[in-house]
Structures are given as C-alpha cells and as structure tokens.
Chain A
Amino acid sequence: MGMLLILAWRNLWRNSRRTLITVSSVLFAFMLATALISFARGFQQQMIETMVRQETGYLQIQDAQYFDQPSLDHTLEYGDEVRQALEAHQDEIEYTVPRIQGFSLAAKGMSTRPALVTGILPQREDKLRKLSANMVEGELFSDRDESAVIGEGLAGLLGLSVGDTLILIGQGYQAMTATGKFRIGGIISFAIPERNNTAVYLPLERAQWYFVAENRLTNLIIMPKDTEHIGPLANDLQSMLDREWYSVAVWEELMPDVMGIIQMQDTVYTGIAWVFYIIVGFGIFGTVLTMFYERMQEFGILLSVGMKRRLLSAVGMLETIMIGIMGIVAGALVSLPIVYLFQRFPIRFSGEMANYVLQFGVEPIFPFILDAQIFLTQAVSIFSITLFIGVITTIKIMRINIQEAVRNE
C-alpha cells in the first residue's frame, strides 16, 4: 500500500501544472457551490425569520380544526388547560402572543371594505414584530384601550383618519352577529399592499367582545427561548393538551407555502451546484484520461513484469481520488474565510432589489450561513464524482491489452 501511495502521489507531479489546474478547478467549483448555498440558506433564513416574526411565530397553539378551516368557530378556549401547559414550560418560553382574527366588513357611511380584524395585546405584539414602528399617525393603543388602529391603505379607501369612527360588521363565534363602533386611534402602514388595505387592529378584549368570543383565541403564538430546538417543546405541550381540541404546530407546518418555495430553491441551488461539479468532473476526467493514454506503454511494461492489474488500477484510482481530495481540502480552506466574512459582514441589497424584498417585509440584509453540513455535502458530492471517474480509470486499466500497450509508441 505504501508503494502504491508513493507511486500515485509522484505520478501526480509528473505534470504538476496540469494537476494544479485540475485541482484548482475543483477548488473553484467547491467555493462557488458553498458560497451559493451558504447565501441561499441565509436568504431563506431571513425569509423564514420574517415570516415567523410577522405571521406565525415559532410555535402556535390552535384549535385542532383551525388549520384546515380557519374560522372563528374553530377558536380555542384560553382556559385552565392551556394555562397549565404553558406554566409547566415557563422556563422554556420567552413570552406568548395571543391573537383572535377574523374577516369582517369595515364601513364608513355607505362605503364598505373587507377587513382582517385582529385582536392583539399590543405590548406582546410589539415584542414580536415592532408594530409600533409602522405607525404613521396617532398611536398604538395600550392593552386596555378601546380604540382601533387601521391600515393606511384601508384608511385611504374609506376616507378615514384619526379620531373618526369605524364601523365593523361581521360574523362572530358560532354564527352570532358581530357589530361594533370603534374610534380610530392610529394609522399603520405595511409594505405588503394586501395587509395595508385590510388591517384592523383592536385590543384583544375588545376584539373578543366584538366577535362574541370571550376568552377565545384563534392563535396563541409561543416564543421559545431556544428557537433552534422547538420540536421537543412542541411535543411536550401537545402531550399536555387534548388532541381533540388543541393542536400545537411549529412554523414549518404553519407556512407550507414558504416551505414549498424554500424546497424549490433548494432544488434549484443543488442543481446549479451539480452543474459546477459535472463541468469539473469532465475536467478531472480529461486529465485522468490523458494521464492514462500518456502512460500506456509504461502500464504495458508494468503488467508484463508481473504487476497485477488490481494493483495498477489501485494506483490509477488513488491518483484520481488524490486530485479530488486536494481540491476539496483547498476548496474548504478558501471557502471557509469567505463564508465567514459574509456571515460577519452580510450582503446588503440596495435600490430596486432592496425595495423588492422590503415589499414582503423582509429586511434586505442577507448574512451567509456558516454550516459544516453545507461544506460536508459539497465534499461528499465532489468526492463521489471523483470516485466515479476513478472507477472508470480502473475499468480501463483492467482492460489494457498488454502486448499492444508495450508496443505503443
């Protein structure tokens, strides 16, 4: 084995320039792929974080049927059972954000508009998503207030401003009629038009009163202390809550659309990475094939004097693998500081791009994700390609016709 390693290693340096070029190509492919995927993961994380903060939270308790049929009829009772479950896990929970939400009509005089009415505890909500930062006029009500905050778009559509009265008409819990009059205390602005044109916020208790759903919630968002490992907490909570009535869901389950997009992105990025690899694979293959034909006569002589095909194949295999490993190691050494740098000093979009992502409420700052798993995946992919090329070399060596090889000039 020692001899085979020495032979393979020295053979690589017979044409050091060619070997170095091949190794560099592996290096670049590795680097591009890791950079691309580290960026993509960062982008996705930013997206998820935004969604989690603005919409779903990391964890939610809902009525068991709410996910499939989100209506006020499927609200959960915020009673002893839920409180006990939360208290039992208070060490793991940072805070909770209760919400009750349903569609209604917002009216002023004869004009009406659809509105998404959400009852919130403003201070909690602020912790989660800095709602008060979006206020353009007036103020966000306090927990005990009676006034409403409406989206800037909706205000414009209905011609409402601070101090006016908003009339809401809709259906409450168990088909009861919901009606209410609310003084407008503030106007809030959102980047996403749909939200800007429909948002109506009420203090939680006022909203529960309006929906005739005292003590009931559509979503109870839970902010865990450890946001990385929420699975166990979700399971624990669920085990304390009757499955027939309560369902504990994690963010992946709460935003299937986003997860779908992420999965699609992953497929695309992995595909691009493989395009790099296959190009590089052809490069390696070319080098290895040239080495093979250049040394035909030498192979013939080695086989003549009694070197077994198996041993000679092993040398060919080792040479190929060594190119791969050198490229991977060099690629990792170069990528590591680059990815680290972009993690510390994230890419900032500006101009059009920034506006585009801002529209979705996503901050246009994208730190790379430094994850050993990403490096490992690239390494394994490149290594399997080299292995495959190595196998082809091996097969070629197994098939050499000795006399022809010796005569080869």
Chain B
Amino acid sequence: MQTVIKTEGLSKTYTNTAVPVHALKDISLEFKEGEFTAIVGPSGSGKTTFLNVIGGLDKPTKGKVVIDDVDIATMKESQLFDFRLRHIGFVFQAYNLIPVLTAIENVSFIMLLQKKPKKEMEARAREMLEQVGLSDKLHERPSRLSGGQQQRVAVARALASKPDFVLADEPTANLDTKSAFNLLDIMARLNKEENITLIFSTHDQRVIDRARRVITLVDGAVDKDEHIDKD
C-alpha cells in the first residue's frame, strides 16, 4: 500500500509561552492509503498540534512532513492554501459550516473553490449528503440542523472533493453518544467505500475502537501505535 503521509523527526516547540512548550517531540510516523487512524491521548498531549502540522496549518520546529514526495514544511503560505485545497479534507470540532449556505451549498463549497464543473459538483454533493443520511436536508441551513447532522455535513464536505486524506480534530467532542457513534460509523464506512485515508483525534474512549489504528500521544511523543485487526 502507498504511503500518503510520512513524518520524520517531527518536533514542535511553542516559544510564545512563559516556559517553552514541547508540544511534539520527534514524531516519525507513516500513514498508508485507506488507513483509518485515531490519535488519542490526554488533554495537552499534542493531538491538535500534530494534526495542524500535518495539515499544513502550522509549521514544525524541526522535521519533515512528506506528502506526495513533497515536504510541506518548506512550503510558503500561499502554496499551502492551494495544497490544502487540493489534497486535504478538514473536519473541525465545531462551526465547520458556513452559516449562510445550505447543506448542499456547504458540501459544494470546496469543489467550487477547486473550480469543478457545476454539474459534477452538484451530483457529487447530493451523493455525499445521501451517504451521510441527509438527503432530506439538502436545502437547510446549518442553524436548522442538529449538532450531529452538522458534523455529518462537514464530513460530507471534507470527502466530497476526494482529497488524499481527511483530518478530523475531535469531530465528536460536541456530540452525544448516539450521534458520536453514528458519525464514526459513517466515517468508517466512507473510509472503506471511498478508500480515503482518515485521521481523527479524540479523547473519547467510546469511539476509539471504531478506528483500525490507534496512536497514543503522551506529552507530545508517540507512546503506543497499535493496529487493530478487524475481520
């Protein structure tokens, strides 16, 4: 299987604090195509920092993030915008959606920025909303959707443009148990069906076993890296 992301000796130290914070310490990991990985660990262990760095939202202090044979740590901001748009899907903890756009407009948004043809875009957006079980909410604005439904729209948006991989930072943190399971199930299914590499962070024990690989961070370093075999 092809490697999608590879980090080498990744370190991140925040120096804007009273005492320097070593948020990431020498992390070398590989993520293969189609993997479904959970990054877990206690609060402050560096999960968000790690996802930000491999998502090109933050620069590492040291080390490499190789995607598509390119070290994105060396890219300029303007290049990173384009890179994120073309290669990475994002799901955040909350407020993912543009409040003034309907569900289907939100899902189309990334493809619109990518300048995909209108027809293709609409068909794909409909398909994805159907996949996440929201075909009856196409024209609702986010304020008319529940938290779980909003996160499902966000997942649909992240996957609609068929990125190389999707990063989700605590996507279930604001959801009740049922919605959290539902969201993870949808993510797991889409990961398989669309064969899109998915990495999500969580400190929610309930959803960890939905992943097929669990990486545990402690104090910014990899503590465990377990592959869970399922069928």
Contact = CB atoms under 8 A, between A and B. Distances in A.
Contacts, number: 55
A300 to B, nearest CB: 9
A297 B99 contact: no
Nearest to A295: B99
Given A305-B90, A306-B82, A306-B110, A298 B58 contact: no
B81 A308 contact: yes
A403 B113 contact: no
Interface string B118-140: 00000000000000000000000
A309 B82 CA distance: 11
Given A14-B99, A306-B113, A402 B57 contact: yes
A102 to B, nearest CB: 79
Given A11-B100, A14-B100, A402-B57, A304 B95 contact: no
A11 to B, nearest CB: 6
Contacts of B82: 306
Given A301-B95, A403-B57, A403-B58, A306 B85 contact: yes
A145 to B, nearest CB: 85
A128 interface: no
Contacts of B89: 305
Contacts of B157: 305
Interface residues of B, number: 25
A10 B81 contact: no
A224 to B, nearest CB: 60
Contacts of A402: 57
Contact of A306 (B52, B81, B96): B81
B57 A304 contact: yes
A304 B96 CA distance: 10
B101 interface: yes
Interface in A386-409: 402-403, 406
Contact of A297 (B52, B55, B88, B95): B95
Interface string A292-321: 000001100111111111010000000000
A301 B89 CA distance: 11
Interface in B55-85: 55, 57-58, 78, 81-82, 84-85
B181 interface: no
Interface of B: 52, 55, 57-58, 78, 81-82, 84-86, 88-90, 92, 95-96, 98-101, 109-110, 112-113, 157
Q: Nearest 10 CB-CB pairs, A to B?
A: A306-B85, A10-B100, A306-B84, A305-B90, A297-B95, A308-B81, A304-B90, A403-B58, A11-B100, A306-B81
